[in-house]
Structure formats: C-alpha cells, structure tokens
Structure 1
Amino acid sequence: MKGTEHFKNVIQNYLDERAQYDELFAENYRKKDKDMDSCIQYILNTVKQSGCNGFADDEIYSMAVHFFDEDNIDIGSPINAHVVVNQVVELTAEEKAQAHREAMQRAQEEAYRKMTQPTKKKAKTTVDATLQPSLFDL
C-alpha cells in the first residue's frame, strides 16, 4: 500500500510539528509498533469506508493522530490509491506572464470565431388566434 509520497510527507510534517508542542502525543508518536505507512493505510481505509470523496485537512489529520493514540487499531487491508493534496501553487512572474498571454490569445480566438460565424435567423412563430378565445368572445 502506497499513498502518494507527497500525501505521506504532508501528514508526517503535521505529526512532527504536533509532537513538538504536544508532549502526550509525542509519546504515542514514538511508539515502536507504529509507522507512517501503516498510518496512511489506516487513513485510506477509513476514508474508503466513509464513502465520501472529499475531506477537510483537519479531518485527515485527526485520523492520523487517532491512529497513533490508539493501541489496538485495525488498519485494514492494503489499498492502491492516488491521493490528491490541495495546495496553493505560487507562480513565478514569468509563468504568470505566459499564462496571461495564453489567456489573451484564447480570448482573441473566441471573439474572432464569434464575429465570423454566420448569424442564424429565428423562425417566426405564428400564433393561431382561433385556438385561444379572448375574453370578449364569451
């Protein structure tokens, strides 16, 4: 069972940081019979059992903490999964300029396509006056 390495690193960084300021958790985090691969396997199985497709970061972190806090915990069977971690991506000035050029090019192409398309005339619909009586006919 391997979650993506990035996912594993994000969880491990959180747990390392938490162990620095939470002495009770630090003791549980150093247990010899617990490791990060088993923790990731436990998280993936818990997520799978829930049937949900998305979780807040804090929910996943609490699953990891729970794994290390509990002595007798069933980690489940190995799962082959690709985990996506949401992160803010910082672009360089050059990447931003390139993205701006590409967006402008797409906008120009779209505007040109709209201008060169032939306009479609709407078919006139005629309403048959005999189908619906007026108030004055009664």
Structure 2
Amino acid sequence: MDLNLTAFETAIKTFLDNLAKEDEMFAKNYAKPNKSISECCKYIFQQVEKNRKNNERCVACTDEEVYGLAIHYYDEDDIVVDGPKNKVEDIQHAPTPEKTTAKSKETKPRKSKSAKTDPDLPDSLEIPLF
C-alpha cells in the first residue's frame, strides 16, 4: 500500500480493491496502466465541483455517488482529468495598532432606579421560620 495516499484516496482504493476482487470485469479496467488512484480522486473532485450551483461553498455527496464516480473513471478510457480549480486566496491581516495616548471615554455614573415600596410596610420585616 502506498504511504503517500490521503485518507480519501485510501478509502477509494480500499473500495476499488474489494470491488476488483468480486468483479472480474471491473478488475480488468482497474488494472489499466494509464489510470491511478490520485487521478481518480482528482476526477471525483472535478465532477463534484461541476455540480456546485451559484458559487456555493460546499457540496454534499453520498458514498454511492462518490464510489460511482470512481468506477466510472476506471470504466471510461477518454476521461480527461484537470483536477479541481479551487481558488486560493491570500488574506491580509490587519496591521497591529500602535498604543495610542488618546483619552479614553469617561463613563458617566448611572442613576439606579430605586424600587417603589409600600409606605405602610415596616422598615424591617421579621418573618418567623416556624
């Protein structure tokens, strides 16, 4: 097993290895020298990217869709893989502000509203517990 495979490539390879053991017809296609797991995964990414609508940021696919694309990649000989065309953006960080000696705003003391009490109540209420 190739140690340079990503987790996604490993999952696809494991699925295709098991399928090739069960299906002789697919095993012939899977053994084609012009096909590779990394190219297969690029093809899957390329097809999923085509399914994005209105500049959506993410796309969800079922396992069956992904594995179906992998099988299709090995079945067809005329597939051209360009790879995903993801945009890489360099985000500039805001410059660190220098310490300023500007006066900070003075906070005004807040006036607390006192709760209105009944004038008929005595100042101290002693309530017996028992």
Q: Same fold (TM over 0.5)?
A: yes
Change (3 A) 1:80 1:7: farther
Name the % identity: 37
Which ranges in structure 1 are unaligned for 5 or more consecutive residues?
Answer: 82-138
TM-score under structure 2 normalisation? 0.56
Q: CA deviation at 1:74?
A: 1.5
Letter in 1 for 2:79: I
TM-score under structure 1 normalisation? 0.53
2-structure distance, mates of 1:79, 1:14: 26
2-structure distance, mates of 1:21, 1:8: 20
Change (3 A) 1:14 1:79: farther
1-structure distance, mates of 2:71, 2:86: 22
For the aligned residue pairs, the C-alpha RMSD in angstroms reads 1.9
Query: 1 or 2 for the larger relative contact order (CA 8 Å, sep ≥6)?
Result: 1
2-structure distance, mates of 1:37, 1:77: 10
Residue 5 of structure 1 is matched in structure 2 by 6
1-structure distance, mates of 2:23, 2:29: 10
Which ranges in structure 2 are unaligned for 5 or more consecutive residues?
Answer: 53-57, 88-130
Bigger-Rg structure (1/2): 2
Q: CA deviation at 1:57?
A: 0.2
Residue 63 of structure 1 is matched in structure 2 by 69
In the TM superposition, 1:1-138 aligns within 5 A as 5-51=6-52, 53-79=59-85
Change (3 A) 1:77 1:7: closer
Question: What SS is found at the alignment partner of 2:60?
Answer: coil
In the alignment of these two chains, the number of paired residues is: 78
